[in-house]
Amino acid sequence: MADNSTDILEQRVEQEYQAGFVTDVEQETFPPGLDEDVIRKLSAKKREPEWMTEWRLSAYRKWLEMKEPTWANITYKPVDYQAISYYSAPKSQADGPKSLDEVDPEILRTYEKLGIPLHEQQMLAGVAVDAVFDSVSVATTFREKLAEAGVIFCPISEAIREHPELVKKYLGSVVPQGDNFFAALNSAVFSDGSFVYIPKGVKCPMELSTYFRINAMNTGQFERTLIIAEEGAKVSYLEGCTAPMRDENQLHAAVVELYAHADADIKYSTVQNWYPGDRETGVGGIFNFVTKRGLAAGRRAKISWTQVETGSSITWKYPSCVLKGDGSVGEFYSVALSKGRQQADTGTKMIHVGKNTTSTIISKGISAGHGQNTYRGQVKILKGADNARNFSQCDSMLIGDQCGAHTFPYIDVQNPSAGMEHEASTSKIGEDQIFYCNQRGIDTEDALSMIVNGFCKEVFNELPMEFAVEARKLLEISLEGSVG
């Protein structure tokens, strides 16, 4: 690249993480370490019923038998699970929020700084927000309005107490406790997260949204989200994530389960901006090991994942769809940006079980600086899945010449009537494109974000409108300083 553009790109990479401030609130934090006593204490702290405590313990025992996965295309220092604290909550929140007025103003200010106005009057029209601060759900807005429609949207800790029959029935039904190392750990120690239930035939009247924030030092965040859509129900849910800058890597091991009955439609969008770690050394930053899975259980059910991943030091994440119902549909739209020393290993799994099931995968990977971006996708067509269809498109864009993009598509077809289409491309942001923009009066910085946004357009189009704008901005900020 010519000097000028490289300079500007470099300056953009210099841009530091903007959500990296620490909030000064009094925290109640468990000492680091994990054993059965810690789990019992945690469960008691959350005033959980006995069955829940037992459920956690059985997951913990499974976890003890399991090994950390090593197959992802990423390298990192091993995590010391005994050095992490498994519970941290702002003290004033220990009993959970009753209304916004009870939320610590300092926490509210944190969310404001992050651009998440919690107060209902300031909110994006029609978005209900559940905010998780470290381990505890801080506030859930718009609950009454949702309740009128019969929608339950609350912290999962509350659902365990108030809707035990639903939680018992569905928790672990999509991601079993022993599914993988991180899912087992999450099942044992999950702290909070969101619970959504949409009754039969109800179209959720607004976007639902959760913001996760890790604040305390050396804590892990293990949220658990469970979304259930009954027959013909429809919901769109968005999660956003940030964390302060720390020298220690923090662990984020979430589990998200989506359960769609016949003709139900669940759309799950993520805008993830965890602290990516120091640009030069990769120190600090979030380890993001997440298990997300949706079960399209009934006929014509639809599960759609959209993700914009710009943060984290390491991301290990494959939102997947199990297409069990005949005619069910799975979608995965992803933008993953890795810059500095970030490593992203992400993709999806589409498991076609029922007949006439279709899946679509659109993945856009952007690598800048020393970033490494891996797409890993699996499409599996089982024996009984007559006339299954999959379309996959994986595009990679490289900014600078020290980054990398890798694509690993795994295809397993056990039914000869399957139709598979796969497209892949890798492009380098061209000096030609930037010069063309410059020649029309657009400076290099704006040109870069325009080109990258254009590249991601198919995915941004899938995001709810308000968040598409946010995602675009986030990408711009993240790109500031993108070549080494």
Residues within the interface to other proteins (CB under 8 A): 2-5, 430-433, 435-444, 446, 450-451, 453-458
CB of 25 to other proteins, least distance (A): 42
In the complex, least distance from residue 14 CB atom to other proteins, rounded to whole angstroms = 19
Q: Which is nearer to other proteins, 326 or 476 (CB)?
A: 476
- State which residue, 2 or 44, has the beta carbon closest to other proteins: 2
Judged by beta carbon, residue 27 or residue 307, the one nearer other proteins is 307
Give the DSSP letter string of 344-382.
EEEEEEEEE-STT-EEEEEEEEEEETT-EEEEEEEEEE-
Residues 122, 131: Cα–Cα separation, whole Å: 15
- The least CB distance from residue 427 to other proteins, in Å, is 9
User: Minimum CB separation from other proteins for residue 97, in Å?
Assistant: 41
Residue 105, judged by CB atoms within 10 A of its CB (0-12, 13-18, 19+), counts as: exposed
78 class by beta-carbon count within 10 Å (0-12 exposed, 13-18 middle, 19+ buried): exposed
94/351 Cα distance (integer angstroms):
41
Q: Which of 346, 337, 348 has the alpha carbon at shortest distance from 311? A: 337
- Shortest Cβ 394–other proteins spacing (Å): 15
Q: Supply the minimum distance, in Å, between the C-beta of residue 319 and other proteins.
A: 23
Nearer to other proteins, 4 or 414 (CB): 4
Cβ closer to other proteins: 383 or 440?
440
Q: Which is nearer to other proteins, 208 or 397 (CB)?
A: 397
Burial of 422: CB neighbours in 10 Å, binned 0-12, 13-18, 19+: middle
Minimal CA–CA distance to 89: which of 47, 35, 61, 52? 47
Q: Which residues does residue 139 pair with via DSSP β-bridges, in sequence order? A: 131
Count of other CB atoms within 10 angstroms of residue 122: 9
**Nearest CB to other proteins, comparing residues 2 and 465:** 2
| Smallest gap from residue 446 Cβ to other proteins (A) | 7
Which of 248, 264, 338 is CA-nearest to residue 296? 264
